[in-house]
Structure 1
């Protein structure tokens, strides 16, 4: 792997795992030193990451990790189920055997990380699973769309995979079960079933994503103080 490719892969991982916070500024001098890249190849790295939606390049500000503001979240919730369902339908129609094998491998990694309760590994394996379903669609319009959605979906899912309450563990188990069902539906070329599973999967994750966006309020001790 070249230095540029290694830099791209590492920065993607750092964005997806929130090691680089949404909206954080990326210092080109520090990045150049950390990855052993001169200015021109580093700029090429940043241009590629910007093209895929991991960062934004702004005049007079430089490179910033893609933000997750109210407008972005509203668009995410509007768009995600539409794109995910379209992807699943086309995946069932177009997936190759090699892609199905790769999907099973991603699911194996997800299940393995679930067993060790490695939240970061689970989030990345889940990202890879849905990234592969996007590739299965063989649709040049949808693949970039699902790739951009997955960046924010993966970042927000960090809380989901870090849950320690029994209900959180059960929801993660159910998510893994949905993956198995989706693999089976795609393997059998059952497009309608793949869409139904995708809708169930989206409903499962949506509630926890909403908890990320709108967390529980702080305890209100006002009433207690007045009594």
Structure 2
């Protein structure tokens, strides 16, 4: 039961952080979390350490855990690193992918398409991040993986902040994202690393404008990390 409770705690906290149910900078009360998930302090701290290692939370000495911040400084670094890392991941994915991973990627794309058709913004963000996580698994690079996973985390949180389903331009971008996911699958299936890398750069451009607005204080029209 303890292992199951730990898994539930990890999954729920990670999902809540990705979808902004737990906002950047929020304090996490260890005692309350223990009571909520039926865990003692030791396994709860193990969950928090795992989340900290993956960039979801920050562990502060004598002050407990906090949901990782999204400052303008860190997101400028995100903006610089993201296109390079995404491209490298997809090129390696095309080189190293396995048949079972291709099946997992297509399954993730099916879930993503279903989320686009009738899911919430949170469903869409979680399905999108799972699609890209599969490409990270395919890449199988211990140096890139931690950076890629942190990029996916903050990319999801930015998407939740700015996603407005009624915006015609964003609806068009969503349709293009779906088509680009299909193109990514095709390039990886063909083991065409150069094409996969080029598609990664095109895919990045879909959200580049919104991220530029997010990291430039003069362009902000919503508080940092506030879902709309």
Give me the whole-angstrom Cα distance separating, in 2, the residues matched to 1:64 and 1:125.
25
* Equivalences for residues 154-169 of structure 1 within 5 A: 154-169=156-171
Higher RCO, Cα 8 Å, sep 6+: 2
Instruction: Tell me if the contact between 1:24 and 1:65 (Cα under 8 Å) persists in the aligned partners.
Output: yes
Structure number with greater Rg is 1
Partner of residue 102, structure 1: 104
Shift of 1:61: 1.9
Cα deviation, 1:196-221, whole Å, max 9, x if unaligned, reads: 10000001111122334447566xxx
Count of residue correspondences:
218
Instruction: Tell me if the contact between 1:185 and 1:191 (Cα under 8 Å) persists in the aligned partners.
Output: yes
* Equivalences for residues 137-176 of structure 1 within 5 A: 137-176=139-178
Partner of residue 74, structure 1: 76
1:60 aligned residue (62, 70, 85): 62
Instruction: Tell me if the contact between 2:97 and 2:188 (Cα under 8 Å) persists in the aligned partners.
Output: yes
Cα deviation, 1:31-50, whole Å, max 9, x if unaligned, reads: 01110001111011111110
Give me the whole-angstrom Cα distance separating, in 2, the residues matched to 1:126 and 1:217.
24
Give me the whole-angstrom Cα distance separating, in 2, the residues matched to 1:82 and 1:181.
19
Give me the whole-angstrom Cα distance separating, in 1, the residues matched to 2:213 and 2:38.
39
Give me the whole-angstrom Cα distance separating, in 2, the residues matched to 1:217 and 1:161.
14
Give me the whole-angstrom Cα distance separating, in 2, the residues matched to 1:154 and 1:165.
18
Shift of 1:74: 1.2
2:137 partner SS: helix
Give me the whole-angstrom Cα distance separating, in 2, the residues matched to 1:33 and 1:117.
31
Give me the whole-angstrom Cα distance separating, in 1, the residues matched to 2:215 and 2:165.
16
Shift of 1:162: 3.3
Give me the whole-angstrom Cα distance separating, in 2, the residues matched to 1:97 and 1:122.
25
Cα deviation, 1:23-81, whole Å, max 9, x if unaligned, reads: 10000111011100011110111111101110000113210000000221011011111
Shift of 1:166: 1.4
Relative to the length of structure 1, the TM-score reads 0.92
Give the alignment's Cα RMSD to 1 decimal: 1.5
Cα deviation, 1:118-171, whole Å, max 9, x if unaligned, reads: 211010000001111011001111111111111101110114543312111111
Give me the whole-angstrom Cα distance separating, in 1, the residues matched to 2:101 and 2:204.
22
Cα deviation, 1:155-200, whole Å, max 9, x if unaligned, reads: 1011454331211111110011110000000000011000110000
Give me the whole-angstrom Cα distance separating, in 2, the residues matched to 1:36 and 1:212.
38
Partner of residue 177, structure 1: 179
